[in-house]
Copies of this chain bind each other. A is one copy, B any other.
């Protein structure tokens, strides 16, 4: 089987939402008048973003999910995707499972795969996502203001817990039920697309939590020219982790791979934010405050800063 047949067989599904999908030199799309186009790309590399023995269906899910999470963080509705794929060999069973995981999530979000590229090389995936939102409604990083509440969606730290368990760096036994939940969050994160849309017009800034809460919140603080304080005791998670906040602080606040939304909103929007969470079927928790200054601090129950050693995931600083 050659690369053209491979692409055609697994990725060239009818593109109902495009003038022209996979199979020409470019895909042809009709943007919605009055909308801005949102575009993002994320690259996943074996051994760095996933283990070599990953279930390819999970990998297909996650490759799209991390990009949908970027759309969620902008308040955009994802519409189209393109996939670049470097494969060590043309393993049709593996590619078929990858495609099934990707298309299942795409279908649930109304996203059409309209193009891509396949080549031989070390296993690497790069997915480009295109979405839309009415002009002027984007949730940006640079709008946080003094006095804003800091919020986060869902639960933090579960994906990092699964990773720590897998790497054998956990000191404590993990109950099977917690391990299963944590692995599901690591392997098949659910991007908060509906919440992002529901937050349009309510929040001053937003970002998705992919590198760890403090690292990502630091991007909001830097882009907005403000400082933030985050309360360890307010960080939402699974009860097992919430009962172990002190020694799990790094998992909760700097764990990475959460794919939750972190956002800031004025005090006056508290009720509306809670209603937006309810509409989106998603827990939202108030976890801190924006101040004048710079930097982001994690405070314990006594208001004392916690130092975690690292504030997030950096592809070049970690070995």
Contact = CB atoms under 8 A, between A and B. Distances in A.
Given A28-B138, A45-B122, A71-B26, A114 B4 contact: no
A28 B139 CA distance: 11
The range of chain A's interface size is 35 or more
A141 B25 CA distance: 8
Nearest to A261: B25
Contacts of A70: 25-26
A85 B45 CA distance: 10
A120 B20 CA distance: 34
B2 A316 contact: yes
Contacts of A138: 19-20, 26, 28
Contacts of A122: 45, 121-122, 124
Contacts of A3: 314-317
A116 interface: yes
Contact of A119 (B6, B49, B207): B49
A73 interface: yes
A223 interface: yes
A157 interface: no
Nearest to A207: B25
A221 interface: no
Interface string A1-32: 11110100000000000011001111111110
Nearest to A90: B316
Contacts of A24: 74, 140-142, 223
A23 B207 CA distance: 11
A153 interface: no
B6 A316 contact: yes
Contacts of A1: 316
Of the listed residues A49, A115, A126, A223, the one surrounded by the most CB atoms of chain B closer than 10 A to its CB is A126
Interface in A240-281: none
A4 B312 CA distance: 12
Contacts of A103: none
13 contacts: A3-B314, A3-B316, A19-B138, A23-B223, A25-B141, A25-B207, A27-B40, A39-B82, A39-B130, A43-B126, A121-B122, A122-B122, A126-B126
**Minimum-distance CB pairs A-B, first 3:** A45-B121, A126-B126, A122-B122
